[in-house]
């Protein structure tokens, strides 16, 4: 762990006297930069910003989100994305929409979708798009809801946590930035993944959380009869070695992880989808 | 009312000095289902504040397309006072809700959340004098706990005049039999008092006394501010280790 202790700041704390460095979650007044939310101070020579510790999901451009269709209209769908704002998905932005189909034959009230934030206007009207490899309607699998501020932790440093879940349990996972997570695969394995995600959300102190989650998954696998106890011991040794390799590159910041995670996911998952869908339907 | 001596040998009835606060206890994040919350004790006051939001506005016609609306409800539990209070809002609590909301409005960055609402609920579980100041202090901590963008912290304290002397943070007897009661709330930014966000007065004081009361309130507010900060930091110190 990097010993660059980041200070907790409260709203109103003076961060800098150079207004040019003001970054996200700060505000400028009288040529001074102040924090505007409770969070961790992240200060470099060029920018000072605050990483929030609490708060609701506020959409930003390009985010992957998981939403529930709330209303069907003639020119699109109104989607709940668990944020202060409702989002809108126009019919043009859904590739599954054909001219001879009615909107409610494509997506109906209560359907879940994975979409991307395409546009946000100044009045905070959010427009979604499904024209992306990652985007799809959710017909199979399970959705887990967590606090959106915990999303970076579920992804982990350089995606370490999500990789662990994917490889250990052999399930598909897509993390929405709004705190909704879609898991698909063997039902028992999905249950373990769900439990693991709730543990990650609960555990405030993450010291060695990746290791603990790995242990938890092994224990649950044995309990569910998915793995034999002897096998586990062998795997554990391999896992340890892997972990050692990982910790050395664990210095990246959580903010960056988000950016890196998305392309990686979109490359990995799509090929699996057609067969997965056939299985479920 | 001459039988009641509120100041004996330069000390107040509960043994405090003139510029001494009652014991304060603050705990942030006590409610699971609220976005932000705070439990606060200030002398005999016991209050809980809960913050929800920003969230969708219902009913829709209250929605503001350019900024968030803020709703504040001050409410006293029926068992919070000596004689059982009829539940529900009354003139006093409606007025306190209004002034408290106005004390917080200039501090919250409403324009960041158009078409949404931030709801603040404060419940007095046990009332002593100065429950509105206790509620404001609790609401301020709860707002920060909810991660709502603000310009700074709001800290509130009252000054009273008893037996011709100004005293900080009056207790019940001093409020009932005193000559004046002046609640203040300040915006504190970076450890400095920036401005007054709430100022009320009931009673009779001279111009000089009001000025002196302001100075006393500022000193008291700074002490409370430190406690508010500590309460939040205490809860989040664990998170700090995590995000490193």
Domain A142-224, classified CATH 3.30.1370.10, yes or no: yes
Residue from B153, B236, B237, B238 to probe the interface with A (highest A Cβ count within 10 Å): B236
Give the B-side interface with A, CB within 8 Å.
Answer: 35-36, 53-56, 65-66, 109, 113-116, 144-153, 187-190, 229, 232-233, 236-244
Chain B nearest CA to A59, separation (Å): 11
Where residue A279 falls among pLDDT bands split at 50, 70, 90? very low
Look at residue B3 and tell me if it is in a domain.
no
Is B136:B125 a contact under the CB 8 Å cutoff?
no
Most confident of A98-107, A201-210, B212-221, B229-238: B212-221
Q: How many CB pairs under 8 A join A and B?
A: 118
Number of domains in chain B: 1
Q: What's the pLDDT score for residue A261?
A: 43
Contact B114 A123 (CB under 8 A): yes
- The per-residue DSSP string of A96-140 comes to T--TTS-HHHHS-TT-EEEEEEEEE-TT--EEEE--STT-EEE-S
Q: Which residue has the higher pLDDT, A3 or B212?
A: B212
User: Can you say whether residue A45 is alpha, beta or left, with left for phi > 0 and alpha for psi between -120 and 50 degrees?
Assistant: alpha
Cα A55 from Cα A40, distance rounded (Å): 13
Contact B147 A84 (CB under 8 A): no
Is pTM beyond 0.90? Reply is no
- For chain B, give the number of residues: 244
Q: Report domain extents, chain A.
A: 8-52, 63-138, 142-224
In this prediction, residues B80-92 reach a mean pLDDT of 95
Percent of chain A whose predicted confidence (pLDDT) is above 90: 40
CA atoms within 13 A on the CB side of B141: 35
- Interface pTM, i.e. ipTM: 0.88
Look at residue B5 and tell me if it is in a domain.
no
Look at residue B9 and tell me if it is in a domain.
no
Cα B207 from Cα A261, distance rounded (Å): 64
Q: What's the pLDDT score for residue B43?
A: 93
Hunting for tokens 């704002």 — which residue is that? A85
Whether the per-residue pLDDT at B23 is higher than 50: the answer is yes
Report pLDDT digits (tens) over B188-198: 999 999 999 99
What CATH number did the domain enclosing B124 receive?
3.30.230.70
Look at residue B134 and tell me if it is in a domain.
yes
Look at residue B72 and tell me if it is in a domain.
yes
CATH for the A8-52 domain, from 3.40.50.300, 2.40.50.100, 3.40.50.1100, 3.10.20.30: 2.40.50.100
Chain B nearest CA to A234, separation (Å): 30
Q: Is A142-224 the same fold as A8-52? A: no
Percent of chain B whose predicted confidence (pLDDT) is above 90: 86
Residues of B in contact with A2 (CB under 8 A): 244
Q: What's the pLDDT score for residue A36?
A: 94
Look at residue B7 and tell me if it is in a domain.
no
In this prediction, residues A211-237 reach a mean pLDDT of 73
CATH for the A63-138 domain, from 3.40.50.720, 2.40.50.140, 2.60.40.10, 3.40.718.10: 2.40.50.140
State the residue range of the domain holding B181.
Answer: 14-243
Report pLDDT digits (tens) over B8-21: 888 899 999 999 99
In this prediction, residues A259-278 reach a mean pLDDT of 43
Report pLDDT digits (tens) over A173-195: 999 999 999 999 988 899 999 99
Which of these, A170, A168, A176, lies nearest to A138 by C-alpha position?
Answer: A176
| Identity of the residue in A124, A149, A205 whose CB atom sits nearest the CB atom of B115 | A124
Contact A37 B244 (CB under 8 A): no
Strands (E), B135-178: 153-162, 165-168
Look at residue B1 and tell me if it is in a domain.
no
Residues of B in contact with A8 (CB under 8 A): 233, 236-237, 239-240
Minimum CA–CA partner of A124 in chain B: B114
Name the DSSP class of A22: B
């Amino acid at each position: 762990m990097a010993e660059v202790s980041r200070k907790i700041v409260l709203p109103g704390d003076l961060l800098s006297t150079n207004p040019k460095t003001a970054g996200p979650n700060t505000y400028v007044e009288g040529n001074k930069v102040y924090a505007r939310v409770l969070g961790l101070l992240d200060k470099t020579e060029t920018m000072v910003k605050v990483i929030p510790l609490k708060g609701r999901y506020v959409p930003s451009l390009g985010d992957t989100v998981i939403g529930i269709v709330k209303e069907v209209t003639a020119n699109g769908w109104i989607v709940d994305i668990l944020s202060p704002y409702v989002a809108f998905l126009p019919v043009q932005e859904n590739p599954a929409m054909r001219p001879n189909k009615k909107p409610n034959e494509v997506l109906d009230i209560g359907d879940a979708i994975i979409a991307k934030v395409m546009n946000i206007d100044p009045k905070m009207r959010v427009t979604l798009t499904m024209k992306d490899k990652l985007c799809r309607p959710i017909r199979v699998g399970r959705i887990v809801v967590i606090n959106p501020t915990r999303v970076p932790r579920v992804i982990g440093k350089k995606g370490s946590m999500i990789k662990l879940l994917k490889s250990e349990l052999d399930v598909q996972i897509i993390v929405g930035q709004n705190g909704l997570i879609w898991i698909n695969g063997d039902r028992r394995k999905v249950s373990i993944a769900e439990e693991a995600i709730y543990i990650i959300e609960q555990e405030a102190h993450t010291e060695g959380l990746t290791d603990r989650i790995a242990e938890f998954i092994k224990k649950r696998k044995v309990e569910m009869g998915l793995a034999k106890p002897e096998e586990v011991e062998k795997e554990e040794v391999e896992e340890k070695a892997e972990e050692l390799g990982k910790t050395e590159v664990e210095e990246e910041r959580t903010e960056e992880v988000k950016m890196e995670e998305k392309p990686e996911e979109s490359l990995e998952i799509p090929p699996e989808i057609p067969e997965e869908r056939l299985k479920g339907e | 009312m001459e039988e009641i001596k509120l100041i004996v040998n330069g000390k107040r009835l509960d043994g405090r000095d003139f510029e001494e606060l009652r014991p304060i206890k603050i705990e942030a994040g006590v409610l699971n289902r609220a976005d932000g919350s705070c439990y606060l004790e200030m002398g005999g006051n016991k209050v809980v504040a809960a913050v929800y939001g920003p969230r969708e506005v219902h009913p829709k016609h209250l929605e503001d397309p350019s900024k968030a609306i803020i709703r504040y409800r001050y409410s006293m539990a029926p068992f919070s006072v000596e004689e059982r209070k009829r539940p529900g809002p009354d003139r006093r609590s409606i007025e306190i809700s209004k002034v408290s909301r106005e004390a917080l409005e200039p501090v919250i960055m409403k324009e960041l959340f158009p078409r949404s609402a931030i709801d603040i609920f404060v419940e007095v579980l046990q009332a002593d004098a100065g429950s509105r100041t206790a509620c404001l202090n609790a609401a301020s901590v709860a707002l920060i706990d909810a991660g709502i963008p603000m310009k700074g912290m709001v800290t509130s304290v009252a000054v009273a005049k008893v037996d011709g002397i100004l005293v900080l943070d009056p207790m019940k007897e001093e409020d009932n039999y005193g000559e004046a009661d002046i609640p203040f709330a300040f915006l504190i930014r970076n450890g400095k008092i920036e401005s007054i966000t709430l100022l009320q007065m009931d009673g009779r004081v001279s111009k000089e006394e009001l000025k002196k009361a302001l100075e006393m309130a500022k000193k008291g507010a700074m002490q409370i501010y430190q406690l508010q900060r500590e309460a939040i930091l205490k809860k989040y110190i664990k998170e700090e280790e995590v995000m490193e």
